[in-house]
Amino acid sequence: MRGTVLDYDPRRGEGLIGGDDNNRYTFKGVSVKSDFASLKSGAKVDFDPENGEALAIFVLSDAPKVGINIDINSSGEKSKVVACLLAIFLGGFGIHKFYLGYNKAGIIMLLCTLFGFILLGIPSAIVYIIAFIEAIIYISKSDAEFAETYVVHQKEWF
C-alpha cells in the first residue's frame, strides 16, 4: 500500500503514516527498509499494513539524490555535517554533544576542558583529541548510519 509520512520522531524511533485508504498506521524506525535519511514528514512511502501498523516501509523517491546533505530542517533531525564541524571547532567544550542531545557527555567534556588546565592541560588535550576522532567518525558515516547510530540508538561515545 502507498501512503505519506505524517510524523516521525527520530528520538523515539516512531511515526505515523497516512495510507491511501484514508487510514492511519503507526510504525517503528526498524520497519524502514530503504533510505532512512529521506524518512521525513511528507515523504511518500510504500508499506505493508498489518493490524494498524506499517511494516516493511520503503521510501519512494522521485529523483536520485546527489551530493552531501547539509540541510538543517525544522523537523528535529540532526545533521552529521553540523555535528562534525562543531566537534572540530568547539569539540573541546562538548558543544557537538549538546547539539546531539547528550547533555551528560557534553558536561563531562566541558568540565574536563575547563578544569584540565590545573593538571597542565593534559585532560583538555585528551578531550580535544576525542572530539577530533568523533568528528572523523561522524563525517565518515552515511546519513542513514549517522541517524540510526546517534539519533535513534543515542550512542554517546565513539
Alpha helices in 23-142 (DSSP H): 80-90, 95-100, 103-116, 122-140
pLDDT in tens, 10-45: 778 889 999 999 999 999 888 888 777 777 888 899
Say how far apart CA 158 and CA 92 lie, in whole Å: 15
With cell 520522531, the residue in question is 9
No. of helices (H) and no. of strands (E), the chain? 5, 5
pTM for the full model?
0.53
Domain 2-59 has CATH 3.60.70.12: no
Q: In the chain, where does the domain assigned CATH 2.40.50.140 lie?
A: 2-59
Is residue 59 helix, strand or coil? strand
